[in-house]
Structure formats: structure tokens, C-alpha cells
Amino acid sequence: NAGVTQTPKFRILKIGQSMTLQCTQDMNHNYMYWYRQDPGMGLKLIYYSVGAGITDKGEVPNGYNVSRSTTEDFPLRLELAAPSQTSVYFCACTPGQSVSGANVLTFGAGSRLTVL
């Protein structure tokens, strides 16, 4: 049981390049989230999804796109990378519905992106 797997762990991009950060979970959770964390700051929500085929914007969606074609995968696409997108990106998931009331987020290990 791997939990939440993010790839790549590290990446350096040139300004204007595009790339996709991959996120896969094997817990069959409905809700998935993408956060970014700038140095010394808290987590900011980029996009989230409540199930396959459904996505919605978070606090800072500009410059990013997501898709959710399956329950397991929630890739984050960066189009035309900019230095302001240099950050650590975290993917997370949660069941969404729980009899016990627990709706615990499980996070991936993060993807560190540098745009030069």
C-alpha cells in the first residue's frame, strides 16, 4: 500500500516550458487536492477534485490545469512555466465520506520544482 505517490521528486524547468506533475493514490479515495508551498510559507490550494471527471479551482489556480479521468490519478499541468511557480508541490487525498467522522488527508512526499 503505497498511499500517495508523486513524481518527479525534483525538476528544473526553463521559463516557458511545460510539464506535468503526476499524483497517484491507491486508497480509492474520492477527494484529491494539489497544494503548493513556497519557502517559509503555508500550503496554498491550487485545485481539487471530488471524484473522477470533477475538478474545481482552489486559491491559486492561475498557470495550472488539472484533470481527473480516474479515481487514482490527479495530474497537475504547468503551462508556460514562470519563476513564480518555483515551489514545492504536494498532492493529497481524503475519503470524502466517513462514518467515523474522520476525513484524514494523506499527503504525498512532494515535488520540488525550480523554474529558471
27 touches other proteins by CB under 8 A: no
Kindly state the smallest distance separating residue 98's Cβ from other proteins, in Å. 6
64 touches other proteins (CB under 8 A): no
For the stretch 6-12, contacts whose Cβ atoms lie closer than 8 Å and that sit 24 or more positions apart, written own/partner, are 6/89, 6/90, 6/91, 6/108, 6/109, 6/110, 6/111, 7/111, 8/111, 9/109, 9/110, 9/111, 9/112, 10/111, 10/112, 10/113, 11/111, 11/112, 11/113, 11/114, 12/113, 12/114, 12/115, 12/116
By CB under 8 A, which span of 12-20, 27-35, 62-70, 78-86 interacts with other proteins?
A: 27-35
Residues at the site binding other proteins, with contacts judged by CB under 8 A: 4, 31, 33, 35, 41-45, 48, 50, 56, 58-59, 88, 90, 92, 94, 96-98, 101-110, 112
